[in-house]
Amino acid sequence: MRQRVASRSGLFVPRKCLKRNRRSSGEEEEKDRINELPDDILVHILSYMNCKEAARTSVLSSRWKEMWMHTPTLDFDVMGDYMKLPSDFALIPGEATKYVDCVNRVLKLHKAKELITEFKVRFDIRKCHQGYIDDWVKFVCSTQRLEKLNFSFLDARYYLHNEPETSVFPNPLTLSGGGFRCLKELCFQSPNLKLKHLELVWCGRLEHVSVSDTNIVSIVFEACGDLELHNVPSLVRVSFPRMFEPVESVLSRLSCCAFSQLEMLCLAVSHRLIQKMEMQEFPQLTKVKELLIYTEPRTDFSLIGLISLLRASPNLQTFVLELMWFKPDRTRREWKEALESPLEHLKEVLVNGYHGCACEFELLAYIFRNSTALEKVTIDPQEKRDMPVPEYPHKMEERQAAERIAKHYAEKQLTEIAPERVNLFIL
């Protein structure tokens, strides 16, 4: 393994970067060769540090004094330092003000605003500082190469009341982890807005989002309120993974033009709403090739209502069903039938969280009967969660035992009805 040593600059460098010089007394001295590197390499190294760490290098020498002011990454996440303090650190008077002043000083001193690619803020911001946050938003909107933007206000009392007049992001931008719980209205409108991917998560008070005249490609909308889309010719992927609303209500958020261009659609549908979908007719999603459904089924309910969505997607190729069970029960009941309708292009089906209940079996039986092009079906008894849930050892053993039983039921139920041409994988 290559040995590394701490240089006088405080950075760790390979030992081969250290050059030995002979002193007149015959003793050897190690010379730090990191200062022989060009400025752009040093700035690149500093970009891997947060702002606090990078600024500390300014005391090394006159050359390093302003080096950190050219870094393309502005990371103001200092929560690691505060985690060492008592749990009520957020209530310490002046801490939020010190943090805001620090951010303002860095933005004022920064000498390469046009080169910034990442901007991250994470702290317990107070309501009295919302005007400064507006200025930060304007700052990042004036950059030319921004790729990542992350606002994480743990106190989450910020309301963006002064929206910048123009927001141009030449590179794809993903908005995530925002925590804008007081944000009520958000508008993206400009032919020059090069925003490709938009993700809105946990914006509980968001009332209206408008996206128009942009080349946006994908939207993940986990917020409440209205989504208004106009003139978005490049939009092909839309996801509503946590909005358990009537499907017709969710689809109404999409403009008519979006129906004809979507290629991937993700919806969350409650088990009660699925019961009402059996006889419903939805707008034709003629280009949708991938459909992902989240639901929390109940044993005495049916999943057959989902067939109406499959029928509304005549060119569907991949169907993914994410099941999140509360109390799975394999009680026997009469099978529910649905109007037979060919699914001519469906090639692949994936079911996560399969337990071998009647509602799962009857849905898959329908798909086996009506999918003439079906090639692959994957059954996974394990539920897929966005975030891992801590488990006690005995709970983990219970879950693993339940998954083994579910696998047994899947093998027993589905191997008998799966057509020979279909590759059935039970994980």
pLDDT bucket at 277, cuts 50 / 70 / 90: confident
- Name the residue ranges covered by the structural domains of the chain: 33-153, 166-268, 284-427
**pLDDT of 349 above 50:** yes
Burial class (CB in 10 A: 0-12, 13-18, 19+), 219: buried
Q: What is the pLDDT of residue 387?
A: 45
Residues 6+ apart with CB under 8 A from 346: 310, 316, 317, 318, 319, 367, 371, 373, 374
Asked whether the CA dihedral 378, 381, 385, 387 is positive or negative, the reply is: negative
Tokens of 79: 């929560």
Q: Give, in order, the Cα–Cα distances in Å from 43 to each of 66, 81, 149, 273, 396.
A: 10, 24, 20, 55, 47
d(CA 212, CA 193): 10
| pLDDT value for 49 | 74
Q: What average pLDDT does this structure show over 21-45? A: 65
Coil, helix or strand for 319? strand
pLDDT at 315: 94
**172 CB-contact burial (10 Å; exposed 0-12 / middle 13-18 / buried 19+):** middle
Distance CA 389, CA 76 (A): 28
Of the pLDDT bands very low, low, confident and very high (cuts 50, 70, 90), residue 318 is very high
Please state the separation of Cα 376 from the chain's center in Å.
27
Average pLDDT, the chain: 73
CB 317 within 8 A of CB 289: yes
Q: Of 220, 283, 224, give the one whose Cα is nearest residue 248.
A: 283
In this prediction, residues 233-241 reach a mean pLDDT of: 86
CA 296, chain centre distance (Å): 21
For the stretch 167-217, pLDDT in tens is 444 344 444 444 444 456 666 766 555 667 787 776 666 677 778 777 888
Short-list 315, 272, 321, CA closest to 293? 321
- Per-residue pLDDT band at 2 (split at 50, 70, 90): very low
Q: What are phi and psi of 84, to 5 degrees?
A: -80, -10
Pick from 6-15, 240-249, 271-280: least confident: 6-15
